[in-house]
Structure 1
Amino acid sequence: MKNLWYKDAIIYSLDVETFMDVNGNGIGDFIGLTKRLNHLAGLGVTCLWLLPFYPSPNRDNGYDIMDYYNVDPRLGTLGDFVEFMHQARDRGIRLIIDLVVNHTSNQHPWFQSARSDKNSKYRDYYVWTDNPPKDAQDKVAFPGVQESIWEYDEQAGAYYLHRFYKEQPDLNTANPEVREEIRKIMGFWLELGVSGFRIDAAPFLIEPLGMENAKREELHNLLSDMREFVSERRGDGVLLAEANVSPDQIPLYFGDGDRMNMLFNFLLNQYIFLALAREQAAPIIEGLKTLPDTPHTGQWVNFLRHHDELTLDGLTKDEQQEIFAAFAPDETMQIYGHGIRRRLAPMLGGDRHRLELAYSLLFSLPGTPLLRYGDEIGMGDDLSLEGRTSVRTPMQWSNTQNGGFSTAPQDALTRPVISEGEYGYQQVNATTEQRDPNSLLNWMERVIRIRQQCPELGRGKWCILETDEPSVFAHCCEWEGNTVLTVHNLAKQPCTVTLKLKDFKPKHLMELFANRQYEPFDGNSSSIEVDAYGYRWFRSDSVL
């Protein structure tokens, strides 16, 4: 694959339902999203990741799908989708959509046929048993919310597997006919112009739980089959996997460059928050060193927050408690025993310096950065809402009715807009921030512009630089003879840090970006001044 466009991408994640409502029914729609494409293009976004927009009973934020070949009527029509695709393409914005094929809705015609007739060909589209194992309860996806992964269906006269909610029966991916359905779904949306898919719950797709005579290796090859199909249909098409797995399992998803193009960097994400809580660089260093090497075509997608909880399951209980104490001290801020259901701005107490530090880290780390809608303006959360919906409130566009999201009555909105407190739409919105040259929105546009000028960060060989300050994380990335070096101070105290450069001998360092204007760096010295929660980016023409 020669076109590695995703290594230079700026990915922005959103849910059509909560982004922009044009017809005034209180629900976001594709026409509204299309009207806001100029905002995204101006921000510097080059790739959108859309959460599920398919017809759905909406028992799980649209991840319970009834029809893979259509648009939820609440959000618009296929015609609206195609017009949106055309407009996005004109602005140089690609699209990745959610491919949710671990399960369907229990309202999907496949499942309705499967439960009503044992001889239906769709019976084997799902995983059934007469005697569910009693030792599988530790495999529930939502501890404390979900009681079991097996549900008895009276009409079917058997139990069906559901790794998520009971309304989401798992598909039998060992069945060749199910695999053919997956190819048809991908082919349909590729034909409409999407650039790839975010593979939901990738580890569950290839685990033979409850599947009789299923061979694990053959299930693993499903990832290769999907990649081959996408590459044949669209040479620059990509697959991005949601796979929160241990480091030793990661190579399974990249393969030899013949499986997933990208993986979410769940491991590093957790170490970043441990580092922010401790105000020390060591956890970031440990996280980076723990990551296995990726093939040439492989790429990490780095993020701070997304539409789900901030999961900390890769850390020890003591480390989890450190992060809870720093960023989610109230139990109402926590979820599933090892997660946090807050957005980044309130987690960091609205501290602009810490927010800039965190996002500067995000954009400078090796890999491709991901932003969640509203990150650019510092949106907050609504902890009065149930579960994960606390971080899924409507986008705040202006200080007008409903934050400019919709003209519908407040009680008709798909979810309440944040209207009170320091994160209310009256204070936090795109229009107000656009007019303020010192706003987070304008800062975000600037850091994205700088990141786009630094392909070294997405494509290069990275190296951690030793320092004499435990709070300072310094690293560099080299690509095609150019090197970008960044320095981040995670502590509340300023410092002058000495970099132990070893094999890296810069001839000249030019400052690209910083939290303020510093005195020019003296190339004859290895000492660099950095403010509290400060950051500095440099470019050098030297080689590692």
Structure 2
Amino acid sequence: MQNHWYKNAIVYSLDVETFLDSDDNGVGDFPGLTNRLDHLSGLGITCLWLLPFYPSPNRDNGYDVMDYYGVDPRLGTLGDFVEFMHQAKERGIRVIIDLVVNHTSIQHPWFQAARSDKNSRYRDYYVWTENPPKDFEPGLLAFPNAEDSIWEYDEKAEAFYLHHFYKEQPDLNIGNPKVREEICRIMGFWLELGVSGFRIDAAPFLIKGIGIEGANPEELEGFLGEMHRFLASRRGDAVLLAEANVSSENIPIYFGESDRMHILFNFLLNQYMFLALARKDANTLRDGLKTLPKSPGICQWLNFVRHHDELTLDRISESEQQEIFAAFAPEENMQLYGHGIRRRLAPMMGGNRCQIELVYSLLFTLPGTPLVRYGEEIGMGDDLSLEDRNSVRTVMQWSDEKNGGFSQAEPDRLTRPTIKGGEYGYKKVNVTRQQLEPNSLINWMERAIRVRKQCPEFGWGEWTILDTDEPAVFAHCCEWQGKTVIALHNLADQPCRVSLKANNYTHLFDLFGDRQYDSLDGDLSSVPLSGYGYRWFRVNRMC
């Protein structure tokens, strides 16, 4: 079980540059993050996922990497990173870092050498053509609002290079064995510094093979297995987490036979969850769960509410997308790329605390491992005046002091703005204030995480959907090693009494809920739930 620690982890995602600034230059850094590890430990976090912190010109939030073996000087030194890793280990917190190997920055030395000399060893590190096709499949361009082609002409190279993202991010040639060796070398470097795994950015693009001469799809997909084997040979408990927003029939490519990716972001379920919330209909959430292929063996789903990108809705129909837009992002400025929402959860729910709790209760109980994005523990808002995805990337709000306690620098020097006014401004929404309020969201979140860690069945168990007589109530159970937990969630705003059709349960003990309910005393025929109510139970005995 130790090697499969991720099955019952609580993952927290953050960008170092927006978390805490230790030297008041306006940019968050590793010493600042190290200073806040006690906050994360107290919250109950067991694993951190760090967004890219490598040297970068920052065309794409650090995902345009210039050097895979260093730390961006703005964020500290390699020594600062090592000290951070030591302190995280002392608190029992593992660290996963982004492995951005679908592309590099245009300023990376590999690309500069490749464009300068056709005979350079780095020429074949990238994908080139002198006659690019005029048409390409829809969806191959990650940023359709910013780019109009996946091919860009480079005058110095006298050829076009492939890029699925910004033109400043040329794609690497994964068909080249030397590139694959280089990727493993990068993983080996960071494993030696103590990381527990990697989040594989843009995994589908990594194995596409577009423009690669003689590309063999099976060989490219097999690279996922090569990465798994390399990881296992260096550190048996390290994991690979893939960003793979693909259809259900393509998911097995990434799990393999438990010999490729250990964990996948649960994009499909995330979209069905928001559709169910918009409709206040539990059947929609049941349908979402049923679309998921069974994760083989030791593999796991990573469930999330929001993360650093837009809330993508591209796996459901256009009419279903419109339902979600109408409920949670009715204004055009709240939407992005035609099928995404660039808002945080709290403003999406209109600040309704009951509804916010319901969503996070779902997050913690849905089969898999939960991911919490920085600021979610206090219900941070968004800034729609910022461009594109930056609306959900504002700096962390620690207190009601200058810049929300993030930095003492002048506001115009901050790496990202802070939210100043309104219901979600740092004067009203911050860690310090909420820690003093017994009924605050941060204290609710700490309790929820504490109880969730006591229920490994949600992470490890076999799940079953339970029938009820209320269309708005989603009920399911998870069983593992002879123990069972049950969760009920009322997606509607009206209270109800639900008949739980699970007659083999003789008694349920309340573990967690939106309020104190009377004991059921074995009667499952009339279980009360508030509007947006939720209850977690442990089964005492099964017949």
- Which TM bucket (shorter chain)? over 0.9
- Structure 2: distance between partners of 1:447 and 1:397: 21
Correspondence 1:516 to 2:518: no
Is 1:377–1:433's contact at 8 Å kept on the other side of the alignment? yes
- Superposition map of 1:29-48 within 5 A: 29-48=29-48
Aligned to 1:346: 347
Is 1:478–1:543's contact at 8 Å kept on the other side of the alignment? no
Is 1:99–1:198's contact at 8 Å kept on the other side of the alignment? yes
Cα deviation for residue 526 of structure 1 reads 2.8
- Structure 2: distance between partners of 1:491 and 1:539: 24
Cα deviation for residue 2 of structure 1 reads 6.2
Q: Does the residue aligned with 1:407 lie in a helix, a strand or coil? A: coil
Name the aligned partner's letter for residue 460 of structure 2.
R
Q: Does the residue aligned with 1:4 lie in a helix, a strand or coil? A: helix
Name the aligned partner's letter for residue 55 of structure 1.
P
- Structure 1: distance between partners of 2:524 and 2:290: 27
- Superposition map of 1:410-425 within 5 A: 410-425=411-426
Aligned to 1:120: 120
Correspondence 1:218 to 2:219: yes
Aligned to 2:312: 311
Q: Does the residue aligned with 1:132 lie in a helix, a strand or coil? A: coil
Cα deviation for residue 137 of structure 1 reads 5.8
- Superposition map of 1:137-148 within 5 A: 138=138, 139-148=140-149
Name the CA shift for 1:506/1:65 in 2 (closer, same or farther; >3 Å). Answer: same
Identify unmatched segments of 5+ residues in structure 2: none
Aligned to 2:182: 181
Aligned to 2:524: 525
Is 2:20–2:32's contact at 8 Å kept on the other side of the alignment? yes
Q: Does the residue aligned with 1:124 lie in a helix, a strand or coil? A: helix
Give identity over the alignment, percent: 70
- Structure 2: distance between partners of 1:47 and 1:479: 23
- Structure 2: distance between partners of 1:63 and 1:264: 18
- Structure 2: distance between partners of 1:452 and 1:335: 35
Aligned to 2:54: 54
- Could you report, residue by residue, the CA deviation over 1:365-420 in whole angstroms, capped at 9, with x for unpaired residues? 00000000000000000000010000000000000000000000011101110001
Q: Does the residue aligned with 1:371 lie in a helix, a strand or coil? A: strand
- Could you report, residue by residue, the CA deviation over 1:111-153 in whole angstroms, capped at 9, with x for unpaired residues? 0000000000100000000111112162211122221110000
Correspondence 1:238 to 2:235: no
Name the CA shift for 1:543/1:188 in 2 (closer, same or farther; >3 Å). Answer: farther
Aligned to 2:539: 540
Is 1:303–1:362's contact at 8 Å kept on the other side of the alignment? yes
- Could you report, residue by residue, the CA deviation over 1:5-54 in whole angstroms, capped at 9, with x for unpaired residues? 00010000000000000100000000000000000000000000000000
Q: Does the residue aligned with 1:3 lie in a helix, a strand or coil? A: helix
- Structure 1: distance between partners of 2:311 and 2:542: 37
- Superposition map of 1:246-395 within 5 A: 246-395=247-396
Is 2:501–2:524's contact at 8 Å kept on the other side of the alignment? no
Name the CA shift for 1:129/1:543 in 2 (closer, same or farther; >3 Å). Answer: farther
Q: Does the residue aligned with 1:198 lie in a helix, a strand or coil? A: strand
Aligned to 1:488: 489
Aligned to 1:65: 65
- Structure 2: distance between partners of 1:181 and 1:370: 30
Correspondence 1:10 to 2:10: yes
Is 1:482–1:543's contact at 8 Å kept on the other side of the alignment? no
- Structure 2: distance between partners of 1:412 and 1:141: 30
Aligned to 1:25: 25
Cα deviation for residue 543 of structure 1 reads 4.9
- Structure 2: distance between partners of 1:499 and 1:529: 11
Cα deviation for residue 529 of structure 1 reads 0.3
Is 1:481–1:541's contact at 8 Å kept on the other side of the alignment? no
Aligned to 1:449: 450
- Could you report, residue by residue, the CA deviation over 1:247-304 in whole angstroms, capped at 9, with x for unpaired residues? 0000110000100000000000000000110111111100101100111110000000
- Superposition map of 1:61-140 within 5 A: 61-136=61-136, 138=138, 139-140=140-141
Name the aligned partner's letter for residue 242 of structure 2.
A
Q: Does the residue aligned with 2:220 lie in a helix, a strand or coil? A: helix
Name the aligned partner's letter for residue 270 of structure 2.
N
Is 1:471–1:490's contact at 8 Å kept on the other side of the alignment? yes
- Structure 2: distance between partners of 1:27 and 1:66: 19
Is 2:103–2:170's contact at 8 Å kept on the other side of the alignment? yes
Cα deviation for residue 542 of structure 1 reads 3.6
Aligned to 2:440: 439
Name the aligned partner's letter for residue 345 of structure 1.
A
Is 1:137–1:149's contact at 8 Å kept on the other side of the alignment? no
Name the CA shift for 1:23/1:2 in 2 (closer, same or farther; >3 Å). Answer: closer
